[in-house]
Amino acid sequence: MKKPSLLIMAAGLGSRYGSLKQIDPVGPAGEAIIDYSVYDAIRAGFGKVVFVIRKNIEEDFKNSLLKRFEKFTDIDYVFQELEMIPAPYSLPAERIKPWGTAHAVLMARKKIDQPFAAINADDFYGMDAFRKMANHLLNTGRETDYSMVGYELEKTLSEHGSVSRGVCSLDSGGYLKTIKERTHIRRERKEIVFEENGQTFPLERNTKVSMNFWGFTPTVFSQIEAGFTEFLSKNISDLKSEYYIPALINELIKSGNGRVNVLTSNARWFGVTYKEDRKMVINEIRKLVESGDYPENLWK
């Protein structure tokens, strides 16, 4: 069986790398969070890494990230551009906002023909999460058996402000029933709450949330295309609308055209939601290096 691939959604990278959190150095040898994702994927048995980028950073990407990783694994990339939408639709002249994460995944259709994971470029997911995902992808049964790494809500919060999370509800078998975006999630006294329509509601600390670590088979590409076409038929004139992976997943579950196994991992997620979070990320990675989870220099 082919090794699974890793798709990294990095279209948010810009041409001036030094000012962007995706490649902001947080490791002891100047590694960015994205370095740890690639390193963990290689260790977990992924055989190929495909980046989704914007056309205007191609040269910078080839001279930086591609050269950094190509000695260690098979690297490829695709573009995500606004005009890349199915006929008969055409790009509204005023549109400047990307089409969303589901559209980003669709862009890799011609580069991936095996089970694959899709992640954000700027999130640290942890080695255990990559191992659990790789094992699931290598043992996928049905072509519409998908997966997601679920994290405990309490372990994904920021000390410096509120966050938005995809809050999951599961059935008794550990499969996803629904995923709903909740905003303004924060600690309030001894509780974790979210805000909606000016009111606050409590959330359990161990609530499973999605941090955009998904597992798919190539079957998902045709499903995304169909869903995105339907999305455009309703939202082409809404210049701020985006087609997100959770929206796709909810549609597939509701229609019976897919199911999602929520994988439990003991890994801790962390990322830089606020600039003040960077110090925490640096300290956490330092602890992982000191405990032997990672070498002092990933690529030496």
What is the pLDDT, as a whole number, of residue 125? 96
pTM score: 0.93
Q: How far is Cα 265 from Cα 274, in angstroms, rounded to an integer?
A: 25
What is the pLDDT, as a whole number, of residue 14? 47
Burial class (CB in 10 A: 0-12, 13-18, 19+), 87: exposed
15, pLDDT greater than 80: no
Long-range contacts of 57-66 (CB under 8 A, 24+ apart): 57/13, 57/14, 57/15, 60/15, 60/17, 61/13, 64/17, 64/23, 65/23, 65/34
CA distances from 171 to 147, 178, 254 (A): 14, 9, 13
Q: How far apart are the first and last CA of the chain?
A: 30
What is the pLDDT, as a whole number, of residue 113? 95
16, pLDDT greater than 60: no
pLDDT tens digits, one per residue of 255-264? 999 999 999 8
20, pLDDT greater than 80: no
* Amino acid at residue number 210: S
Listed range (57-61, 78-82, 125-129) with the worst mean pLDDT? 57-61
What is the pLDDT, as a whole number, of residue 1? 66
What is the pLDDT, as a whole number, of residue 265? 86
Averaged pLDDT of the chain: 92
